[in-house]
Amino acid sequence: MLAIPVVAVEPLPGFARSTVDGFAVFAADTYGASDSLPVYLSLAGEVAMGRTPDFSLNRTQAALIHTGGMLPEGADAVVMVETTQNTRPGEIEVMRALAVGENILQPGEDVASGSEVIPAGTLLRSMEIGGLAALGRMTIQVAARPRIAILSSGDEVVSPEQSPQPGQVRDVNSYTLAALVEKEGGSPVLYGIIRDQRTELEQAVQRALTECDAVVITAGSSASTRDLTADVIQTMGQPGVLVHGVNVKPGKPTILGVCGGKAVIGLPGNPVSALVIARIFVVPVIHHLLGMNKSARVAVISARLTLNLASQAGREDWMPVRLLSTARGWEADPIFYKSNLIFSLVRADGLVHIPADANGLAAGELVEVEIL
């Protein structure tokens, strides 16, 4: 992510250049030219690639030029070689009329000197990297990857390498969330598994707030008396808990808070709920910390639902779907799931959003599928 804007110190292109293989000409010399009434021009020379032409054109003259070659002085258009013929030595036949500037890139046509070409907060893609190379910018200042603390709480949670005993589950959320954070430009910091003890959770959250830019806590966000997350967040700094519970399925018991200017988000413990809610609330926090100047582009595909999807009015629903390629186009096949089954999402290609003002979506309806 670019931290400060890039300003061009030179124009691009730096000189008038041809966009085709052909002949540099005066456009006015070709007016009225056609297959049945060609124009005859004498050859003044050939433009060597990578060099300034050592000759200029006079009227009724042409110069052989290749794609990217610098126009000789006097030329104001380039005729494609396909619309010319060689007649006598030192002469060509032009069978098409040209406009001034045709098949030419003018100096500064891509970038004007002194203009801002890449604003701060831009995610650098392959195109931006190429543009920087074209400007000779080999070093730039980028945003530091925000450190996102990830805490997994619960007496029943054990490390993935352990064999869980009856009543125990492996820690899935730390690793799915870490992968999501990294994908979105953050640097995940895993604080391990925190037991359901207030002092232990307080110490872990306090340390995470000191060392990181935002904190994500999984589990401990339901109404259970053993779930301490909301109480602990409330004591970690002002203003504390802003929201406890969102009208989203999956993920209703989500906690949104701010402690001392840092976002603290409590996610449900169920893996599907945690990952869906993280996409909605954690990812925008990462983008904000990066200074991203516009909303992230989400890859979507339009597809038709294969089944009816019911929804409760006033609640947002997110339904995992498989994408099926058919003769009629893409179809979205819902995966009915329980939110603690991570392979519901593993089998999915994307998510379909059912907005809060809808009672559901009908089979055959065209929907947008957010690609996972």
153-168 residue pLDDT tens: 988 899 999 999 999 9
Task: Give the C-alpha distances (Å, rounded to integers) separating 290 from 115, 275, 372.
Answer: 24, 21, 22
- Read off the pLDDT of each residue in 299-306 and give the average, rounded to a whole number: 95
Architecture of domain 300-371: Beta Barrel (2.40)
30-46 residue pLDDT tens: 999 999 999 999 999 99
Contact yes or no for 91/41 (Cβ under 8 A): yes
Give the type of residue at 100: V
Q: Given this model, what pLDDT does residue 236 score?
A: 95
91-148 residue pLDDT tens: 999 999 999 999 999 999 999 999 999 999 998 999 999 999 999 999 999 999 999 9
Domain ranges of the chain: 1-12+115-143, 17-105, 147-290, 300-371
> What does the H/E/C string look like for the chain?
CECCCEECCCCECCCCEECCCEEEECHHHHCCCCCCCCEEEEEEEECCCCCCCCCECCCCEEEEECCCCECCECCCEEEEHHHEEECCCCEEEECCCCCCCCCEECCCCCECCCCEEECCCCCCCHHHHHHHHHCCCCCCCECCCCEEEEEEECCCEECCCCCCCCCCEECCHHHHHHHHHHHCCCEEEEEEEECCCHHHHHHHHHHHHHHCCEEEEECCCCCCCCCCHHHHHHHCCCEEEEEECCCEECCCCCEEEEECCEEEEEECCCHHHHHHHHHHHHHHHHHHHHCCCCCCCCCEEEEEECCCEECCCCCEEEEEEEEEEECCEEEEEECCCCCCCCHHHHCCCEEEEECCCCCEECCCCEEEEEEC
Give the residue, 277 or 313, on which the prediction is more confident: 277
**Can the peptide bond before residue 188 be classed as cis, meaning omega within 30 degrees of 0?**
no
Strand partners, 153: 194
How many angstroms separate the CA atoms of 313 and 358, rounded?
A: 6
Contact yes or no for 188/178 (Cβ under 8 A): yes
Q: Given this model, what pLDDT does residue 26 score?
A: 97
51-62 residue pLDDT tens: 999 999 999 999
215-239 residue pLDDT tens: 999 986 555 544 689 999 999 999 9
Does this model's pTM top 0.85? My answer is no
Architecture of domain 147-290: 3-Layer(aba) Sandwich (3.40)
Task: Give the C-alpha distances (Å, rounded to integers) separating 319 from 23, 275, 353, 355.
Answer: 59, 13, 7, 11
Chain-wide mean pLDDT for the chain?
A: 93
329-339 residue pLDDT tens: 999 999 988 76
Confidence of residue 284 (pLDDT cuts 50, 70, 90): very high
Q: Given this model, what pLDDT does residue 225 score?
A: 41
Q: Given this model, what pLDDT does residue 192 score?
A: 94
- Percent of the chain at pLDDT > 90 equals 87
Residues counted in the chain: 372
Closest C-alpha to 322, from 282, 256, 369: 369
- 17-105 sits in which CATH class? mainly beta
Contacts of 149 (CB under 8 A, 6+ apart): 189, 191, 208, 209, 211, 212, 214, 215, 216
Q: Is the pLDDT of residue 7 over 60?
A: yes
Q: What is the CA radius of gyration of the chain?
A: 31
Confidence of residue 298 (pLDDT cuts 50, 70, 90): confident
